[in-house]
Amino acid sequence: MPAAFDLFGAPPLPGLAYREDLVTLDEERQLIGAIDGLELSPFRFQGWLGKRLTASFGWRYDFDDASFTQGAPLPGWLLPLRDKAAAFAGLAPHAFEHALLIRYDPGAGIGWHKDRPVFEHVVGISLGNATTMRFRKRRPGGFDRVAVPLGPRSLYHLSGEARHVWEHSIAPMEVPRWSITFRSLSDKGRALSPGS
Ligand SMILES: O=C(O)CCC(=O)C(=O)O
Ligand SMILES: [Fe+2]
């Protein structure tokens, strides 16, 4: 249990759940190898190139032009991990229609944001090295802030307030980290999907 969780395991913010014991060292090594074997592209945002490298499956939210389109299906090697993520979040595996794979090389991070409203639940798996996910929420005169340590092989689930009210970010590090995030579609995302 990370230090940010109190003695009774209460989450530091409502809607944040955390587990460390669901992914083995062996799985971690295989997942990192599989991510590195993909063709990863630098994150693009309105003409800017970010330092982190990404690949997405199932659905693709394009930050460059704000389009939301169906992409390649999730590869088979992601499905056992998605089963674990879904069990942890208490949702059906197929609810997680989108997966985003990220490699943060040294010097790469992710700035303050909330995940796009086309998505609802977010489960993230950290691989390779520990990091700290920082959360902030605006209040008169400043921000409330919470720092949540994420161990390697850990899972977090963002829903409710942690998902919709707080922003999160990860500062650049000197060591690499890989992450896999599974997302369900929100009503808004579903309305944009074909056949709805
Ligand atoms: O690397 C992570 O765990 C966080 C990624 C993230 O916040 C995002 O892709 O929206
Ligand atoms: Fe995010």
pLDDT score for 9: 59
* pLDDT band at residue 196 under the 50/70/90 scheme: low
Q: What is the pLDDT of residues 59-83, one digit of tens each?
A: 888 877 878 889 999 999 999 999 9
- Taking the centre of ligand 1 as the mean of its atom positions, its distance from the CA of residue 25, in whole angstroms, is 21
Handedness of CA 71, 75, 78, 80 (dihedral sign): positive
Q: Nearest ligand, CA of residue 176?
A: 1
d(Cα 54, Cα 104) in Å, to the nearest integer?
A: 9
Domain boundaries, the chain: 16-192
- At the second CATH level, the architecture of 16-192 is Sandwich (2.60)
Question: Is the shortest distance between the CB of 102 and ligand 1 below 6 Å?
Answer: yes
pLDDT score for 65: 81
- Taking the centre of ligand 2 as the mean of its atom positions, its distance from the CA of residue 182, in whole angstroms, is 11
Q: What are the backbone dihedrals phi and psi of residue 163, each rounded to the nearest 5 degrees, phi first? A: -85, -40
Q: What is the pLDDT of residues 175-184, one digit of tens each?
A: 999 999 999 9
**CB-CB contact of 2 with 18 (8 Å):** yes
pLDDT score for 11: 66
- Taking the centre of ligand 2 as the mean of its atom positions, its distance from the CA of residue 113, in whole angstroms, is 6
pTM, whole model, 2 decimals?
Answer: 0.92
- Taking the centre of ligand 2 as the mean of its atom positions, its distance from the CA of residue 159, in whole angstroms, is 12
- Whose C-alpha lies nearest to ligand 1, atom 2? 179
The torsion defined by the Cα of 52, 57, 61 and 64, in degrees rounded to 10, comes to: 50
Residue 31 has pLDDT above 80, yes or no: yes
Mutate to test the pocket of ligand 1, among 44, 57, 181, 184 (most ligand atoms within 8 A of CB): 181
d(Cα 82, Cα 151) in Å, to the nearest integer?
A: 19
For residue 84, the tally of other CB atoms under 10 A from its CB is 18
Query: Locate tokens 């989450």: which residue?
Result: 11
pLDDT score for 5: 59
Per-residue burial over 167-183, b if 16 or more Cβ lie within 10 Å, else e, is ebebeebeebbbbbbbb
- Whose C-alpha lies nearest to ligand 1, atom 8? 115
Mean pLDDT of the chain: 91
Q: What is the pLDDT of residues 99-152, one digit of tens each?
A: 999 999 999 999 999 999 999 999 999 999 999 999 999 999 999 999 999 999
Q: What percent of the chain has pLDDT over 90?
A: 78
CA distances from 165 to 74, 113, 160, 185, 188 (A): 29, 10, 8, 18, 17
pLDDT score for 23: 97
d(Cα 105, Cα 182) in Å, to the nearest integer?
A: 21
Q: What does the pLDDT average to over 1-11?
A: 56
ipTM of the complex: 0.99
pLDDT score for 58: 95
Alpha-carbon Rg of the chain, whole angstroms? 16
Atom of ligand 1 nearest to the CA of 168: 7
